[in-house]
Structure 1
Protein backbone atom coordinates (compact mmCIF):
# COMPACT_ATOMS: atom_id res chain seq x y z
CA UNK A 1 0.00 0.00 0.00
CA UNK A 2 1.09 3.55 -0.70
CA UNK A 3 1.78 5.62 2.40
CA UNK A 4 -0.75 8.32 3.19
CA UNK A 5 0.30 11.66 1.81
CA UNK A 6 0.80 13.09 -1.65
CA UNK A 7 -0.19 9.91 -3.46
CA UNK A 8 -3.50 9.69 -1.58
CA UNK A 9 -4.13 13.38 -2.19
CA UNK A 10 -3.44 12.98 -5.91
CA UNK A 11 -5.79 10.01 -6.19
CA UNK A 12 -8.53 11.80 -4.25
CA UNK A 13 -7.95 14.92 -6.35
CA UNK A 14 -8.40 12.97 -9.60
CA UNK A 15 -11.65 11.45 -8.38
CA UNK A 16 -12.99 14.84 -7.25
CA UNK A 17 -11.98 16.77 -10.37
CA UNK A 18 -13.40 14.19 -12.78
CA UNK A 19 -16.64 13.81 -10.78
CA UNK A 20 -17.15 17.57 -10.56
CA UNK A 21 -16.58 18.10 -14.28
CA UNK A 22 -18.97 15.24 -15.00
CA UNK A 23 -21.64 16.58 -12.66
CA UNK A 24 -21.46 20.10 -14.11
CA UNK A 25 -21.58 18.87 -17.70
CA UNK A 26 -24.54 16.58 -17.04
CA UNK A 27 -26.43 19.28 -15.15
CA UNK A 28 -25.78 21.81 -17.94
CA UNK A 29 -26.87 19.27 -20.54
CA UNK A 30 -30.11 18.46 -18.75
CA UNK A 31 -30.93 22.15 -18.38
CA UNK A 32 -30.30 22.69 -22.10
CA UNK A 33 -32.35 19.64 -23.08
CA UNK A 34 -35.33 20.70 -21.00
CA UNK A 35 -38.11 18.79 -19.29
CA UNK A 36 -37.88 15.14 -20.29
CA UNK A 37 -41.58 14.65 -19.55
CA UNK A 38 -42.42 17.27 -22.17
CA UNK A 39 -40.06 15.70 -24.67
CA UNK A 40 -41.46 12.24 -23.94
CA UNK A 41 -45.03 13.53 -24.40
CA UNK A 42 -44.14 15.10 -27.74
CA UNK A 43 -41.76 12.50 -29.17
CA UNK A 44 -42.17 9.40 -27.03
CA UNK A 45 -39.65 7.61 -24.84
CA UNK A 46 -37.31 7.05 -27.78
CA UNK A 47 -37.32 10.77 -28.53
CA UNK A 48 -36.44 11.59 -24.92
CA UNK A 49 -33.61 9.06 -24.95
CA UNK A 50 -32.28 10.43 -28.24
CA UNK A 51 -32.47 13.98 -26.89
CA UNK A 52 -30.27 13.00 -23.95
CA UNK A 53 -27.84 10.76 -25.82
CA UNK A 54 -27.56 13.31 -28.64
CA UNK A 55 -26.21 15.93 -26.25
CA UNK A 56 -22.44 16.33 -26.47
CA UNK A 57 -22.42 17.83 -22.96
CA UNK A 58 -24.28 14.83 -21.56
CA UNK A 59 -22.01 12.28 -23.25
CA UNK A 60 -18.94 14.26 -22.15
CA UNK A 61 -20.29 14.35 -18.60
CA UNK A 62 -20.78 10.58 -18.60
CA UNK A 63 -17.21 10.19 -19.87
CA UNK A 64 -15.86 12.26 -16.97
CA UNK A 65 -18.01 10.35 -14.49
CA UNK A 66 -16.51 7.13 -15.87
CA UNK A 67 -13.00 8.59 -15.40
CA UNK A 68 -13.96 9.41 -11.82
CA UNK A 69 -15.21 5.87 -11.24
CA UNK A 70 -12.03 4.29 -12.64
CA UNK A 71 -9.94 6.72 -10.59
CA UNK A 72 -11.86 5.54 -7.54
CA UNK A 73 -11.15 1.90 -8.42
CA UNK A 74 -7.44 2.71 -8.81
CA UNK A 75 -7.38 4.59 -5.52
CA UNK A 76 -9.12 1.75 -3.67
CA UNK A 77 -6.51 -0.68 -4.94
CA UNK A 78 -3.75 1.46 -3.40
CA UNK A 79 -5.18 3.14 -0.33
CA UNK A 80 -7.63 2.66 2.52
CA UNK A 81 -11.36 2.76 1.83
CA UNK A 82 -11.84 4.59 5.14
CA UNK A 83 -9.89 7.54 3.68
CA UNK A 84 -10.60 7.47 -0.04
CA UNK A 85 -14.39 7.10 -0.04
CA UNK A 86 -15.31 9.77 2.53
CA UNK A 87 -12.65 12.23 1.40
CA UNK A 88 -13.56 12.01 -2.28
CA UNK A 89 -17.30 12.19 -1.60
CA UNK A 90 -16.93 15.11 0.80
CA UNK A 91 -14.60 17.12 -1.38
CA UNK A 92 -16.81 16.50 -4.41
CA UNK A 93 -19.64 18.10 -2.41
CA UNK A 94 -17.46 21.18 -1.90
CA UNK A 95 -16.22 21.42 -5.49
CA UNK A 96 -19.75 20.92 -6.81
CA UNK A 97 -20.94 23.89 -4.75
CA UNK A 98 -18.13 26.07 -6.13
CA UNK A 99 -18.64 24.84 -9.71
CA UNK A 100 -22.42 25.28 -9.48
CA UNK A 101 -21.91 28.90 -8.41
CA UNK A 102 -19.31 29.68 -11.09
CA UNK A 103 -20.41 27.66 -14.12
CA UNK A 104 -24.13 27.11 -13.63
CA UNK A 105 -24.79 30.47 -11.94
CA UNK A 106 -26.68 28.75 -9.12
CA UNK A 107 -27.53 30.60 -5.95
CA UNK A 108 -25.45 28.79 -3.33
CA UNK A 109 -26.70 30.13 -0.02
CA UNK A 110 -24.75 30.77 3.18
CA UNK A 111 -25.92 27.51 4.75
CA UNK A 112 -24.32 25.49 1.92
CA UNK A 113 -21.05 27.44 2.22
CA UNK A 114 -20.98 26.77 5.97
CA UNK A 115 -21.62 23.08 5.27
CA UNK A 116 -18.76 23.10 2.73
CA UNK A 117 -16.37 24.60 5.30
CA UNK A 118 -17.40 21.95 7.84
CA UNK A 119 -16.82 19.23 5.25
CA UNK A 120 -13.33 20.60 4.54
CA UNK A 121 -12.55 20.63 8.26
CA UNK A 122 -13.74 17.03 8.55
CA UNK A 123 -11.54 15.91 5.64
CA UNK A 124 -8.52 17.62 7.21
CA UNK A 125 -9.19 15.90 10.54
CA UNK A 126 -9.64 12.56 8.83
CA UNK A 127 -6.43 12.86 6.83
CA UNK A 128 -4.26 13.47 9.89
Structure 2
Protein backbone atom coordinates (compact mmCIF):
# COMPACT_ATOMS: atom_id res chain seq x y z
CA UNK A 1 0.00 0.00 0.00
CA UNK A 2 1.29 3.45 -0.95
CA UNK A 3 0.08 6.08 1.55
CA UNK A 4 0.49 8.82 -1.05
CA UNK A 5 -1.99 7.21 -3.50
CA UNK A 6 -5.44 7.72 -2.03
CA UNK A 7 -7.12 6.77 -5.31
CA UNK A 8 -5.54 3.30 -5.67
CA UNK A 9 -5.38 2.54 -1.97
CA UNK A 10 -8.80 3.80 -0.94
CA UNK A 11 -11.15 4.59 -3.84
CA UNK A 12 -10.34 1.93 -6.43
CA UNK A 13 -9.91 -0.71 -3.71
CA UNK A 14 -13.39 0.08 -2.36
CA UNK A 15 -12.10 0.98 1.13
CA UNK A 16 -13.52 4.50 0.78
CA UNK A 17 -16.99 4.81 -0.69
CA UNK A 18 -17.50 7.54 -3.27
CA UNK A 19 -20.54 8.90 -5.08
CA UNK A 20 -19.88 7.83 -8.66
CA UNK A 21 -21.01 10.20 -11.41
CA UNK A 22 -19.68 8.38 -14.46
CA UNK A 23 -17.69 5.20 -14.94
CA UNK A 24 -16.12 3.59 -18.00
CA UNK A 25 -13.86 0.53 -18.22
CA UNK A 26 -10.78 2.78 -17.80
CA UNK A 27 -12.00 5.91 -15.97
CA UNK A 28 -13.91 6.74 -12.79
CA UNK A 29 -15.53 10.12 -12.05
CA UNK A 30 -17.00 10.88 -8.64
CA UNK A 31 -17.86 13.67 -6.22
CA UNK A 32 -14.85 14.74 -4.14
CA UNK A 33 -14.97 13.27 -0.64
CA UNK A 34 -14.10 16.66 0.93
CA UNK A 35 -15.19 19.27 -1.63
CA UNK A 36 -13.50 22.66 -1.84
CA UNK A 37 -16.20 24.05 -4.17
CA UNK A 38 -19.98 23.50 -4.31
CA UNK A 39 -19.38 21.37 -7.43
CA UNK A 40 -16.15 19.37 -7.07
CA UNK A 41 -15.70 16.31 -9.26
CA UNK A 42 -12.64 14.05 -9.49
CA UNK A 43 -11.76 12.12 -12.66
CA UNK A 44 -9.17 9.32 -12.31
CA UNK A 45 -7.77 6.53 -14.45
CA UNK A 46 -8.44 3.07 -13.04
CA UNK A 47 -4.83 2.21 -13.87
CA UNK A 48 -2.14 3.81 -11.73
CA UNK A 49 -0.48 6.76 -13.47
CA UNK A 50 1.48 9.07 -11.19
CA UNK A 51 0.86 12.39 -13.00
CA UNK A 52 0.86 14.11 -16.38
CA UNK A 53 4.51 14.97 -15.82
CA UNK A 54 5.32 11.27 -15.30
CA UNK A 55 3.42 9.80 -18.27
CA UNK A 56 5.05 6.71 -19.67
CA UNK A 57 4.86 5.24 -23.14
CA UNK A 58 1.42 3.83 -23.85
CA UNK A 59 -0.43 5.84 -21.17
CA UNK A 60 -1.62 8.66 -23.43
CA UNK A 61 -4.60 6.55 -24.59
CA UNK A 62 -5.85 6.39 -20.99
CA UNK A 63 -5.40 10.15 -20.60
CA UNK A 64 -7.46 10.60 -23.76
CA UNK A 65 -10.25 8.52 -22.17
CA UNK A 66 -10.00 10.73 -19.06
CA UNK A 67 -10.34 13.83 -21.24
CA UNK A 68 -13.39 12.37 -22.97
CA UNK A 69 -15.07 11.81 -19.59
CA UNK A 70 -13.96 15.26 -18.38
CA UNK A 71 -15.34 16.93 -21.52
CA UNK A 72 -18.72 15.26 -21.04
CA UNK A 73 -18.86 16.33 -17.40
CA UNK A 74 -17.65 19.87 -18.21
CA UNK A 75 -20.49 20.24 -20.75
CA UNK A 76 -23.02 19.05 -18.16
CA UNK A 77 -21.68 21.23 -15.33
CA UNK A 78 -21.44 24.28 -17.60
CA UNK A 79 -25.06 23.78 -18.70
CA UNK A 80 -26.18 23.49 -15.07
CA UNK A 81 -23.92 26.08 -13.39
CA UNK A 82 -22.81 28.46 -16.15
CA UNK A 83 -19.17 27.33 -16.22
CA UNK A 84 -16.47 25.25 -14.59
CA UNK A 85 -12.72 24.79 -14.27
CA UNK A 86 -10.61 21.75 -15.13
CA UNK A 87 -7.28 21.34 -13.34
CA UNK A 88 -4.58 18.87 -12.37
CA UNK A 89 -1.42 19.07 -10.26
CA UNK A 90 2.07 17.62 -10.68
CA UNK A 91 5.14 17.15 -8.51
CA UNK A 92 5.22 18.86 -5.13
CA UNK A 93 1.77 20.39 -5.78
CA UNK A 94 0.23 16.92 -5.97
CA UNK A 95 -0.69 15.51 -2.55
CA UNK A 96 -2.10 12.30 -4.05
CA UNK A 97 0.43 10.69 -6.37
CA UNK A 98 -2.18 9.36 -8.82
CA UNK A 99 -3.17 11.34 -11.90
CA UNK A 100 -6.48 13.07 -11.35
CA UNK A 101 -8.43 15.93 -12.88
CA UNK A 102 -10.60 18.22 -10.81
CA UNK A 103 -13.69 19.76 -12.33
CA UNK A 104 -15.10 22.45 -10.10
CA UNK A 105 -17.59 25.28 -10.17
CA UNK A 106 -18.74 27.98 -7.78
CA UNK A 107 -16.99 29.96 -5.08
CA UNK A 108 -14.47 28.14 -2.94
CA UNK A 109 -15.97 26.77 0.32
CA UNK A 110 -12.71 25.48 1.94
CA UNK A 111 -9.26 27.03 2.25
CA UNK A 112 -6.02 25.32 1.13
CA UNK A 113 -5.89 23.45 4.45
CA UNK A 114 -9.40 22.03 4.04
CA UNK A 115 -11.00 24.34 6.60
CA UNK A 116 -14.43 25.85 5.80
CA UNK A 117 -14.28 29.44 4.63
TM (norm. structure 1) is 0.35
Report which of the two has the higher share of strand: 2
TM-score by length of 2: 0.37
> Which has the higher relative contact order, 1 or 2, with Cα contacts under 8 A spaced 6 or more apart?
1
Normalized per residue, the structure richer in helix is 1
